[in-house]
């Protein structure tokens, strides 16, 4: 039976600003940028059609409505959803800011936030990226664990990275830089 020893631990306070940065980060994927551009073109087209048909008040209102709808879908929807989701999480965890802890145990990675706990076996690690002390660990199921190199309370990120490489190498593969 595997012993549940914590080898490395990263702990930080998650606040609204950080949560919105993560949301904005996910908006940089190519597929999301294409959808945003399409909604922008849709909104622009509706605006131009509305200006062209300004003699008919009903058509003008129709195109103004669809212009606003396209602007919302393309540029504001993710902010509204992120704000709503953050408020629900803050309510669940009992405060505006809460502590997120990611622990690297002998046989798994453990994420803890408030009363929530999730275990991820090392086999689920697909890749790691790091830039300026900001680390993302990609897992199966479109899950991303976000860490900060200067917020390790047990061990260092450099040692933890070697640990991760060793854990995944035992599975017959080595995680790569994505």
What is the model's pTM? 0.68
What's the pLDDT at 103?
92
Per-residue pLDDT tens for 95-146? 788 888 999 988 889 999 878 889 999 888 888 888 888 888 888 888 888 8
Confirm or reject CATH 3.40.630 for domain 6-15+95-169, answering yes or no: no
CB of 136 closer than 8 Å to CB of 145: yes
Q: What are the structural domain ranges in the chain?
A: 6-15+95-169, 18-93
Mean pLDDT of the chain: 79
H helix intervals, 27-132:
30-52, 57-71, 77-93
Sheet with 116-121, side-by-side order of all strands = 116-121, 108-113, 98-105, 6-14, 152-154
């Amino acid at each position: 039976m595997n012993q549940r020893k914590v080898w490395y631990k990263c702990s930080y306070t998650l606040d609204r600003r950080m949560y919105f940065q993560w949301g904005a980060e996910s908006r940089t994927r190519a597929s999301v940028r294409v959808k945003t551009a399409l909604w922008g073109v849709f909104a622009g087209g509706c605006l131009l059609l509305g200006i062209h048909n300004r003699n008919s008040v009903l058509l003008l209102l129709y195109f103004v409505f669809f212009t606003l709808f396209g602007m919302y879908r393309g540029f504001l929807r993710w902010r509204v959803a992120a704000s709503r989701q953050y408020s629900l999480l803050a309510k669940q965890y009992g405060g505006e800011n809460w502590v997120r802890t990611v622990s690297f145990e002998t046989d798994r990675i453990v994420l803890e936030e408030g009363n929530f706990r999730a275990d991820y076996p090392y086999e689920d690690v697909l890749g790691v990226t790091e830039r300026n002390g900001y680390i993302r660990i990609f897992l199966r199921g479109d899950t991303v664990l976000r860490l900060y190199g200067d917020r390790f309370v047990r061990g260092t990120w450099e040692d933890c990275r070697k640990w991760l490489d060793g854990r995944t190498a035992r599975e017959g593969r080595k995680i790569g830089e994505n």
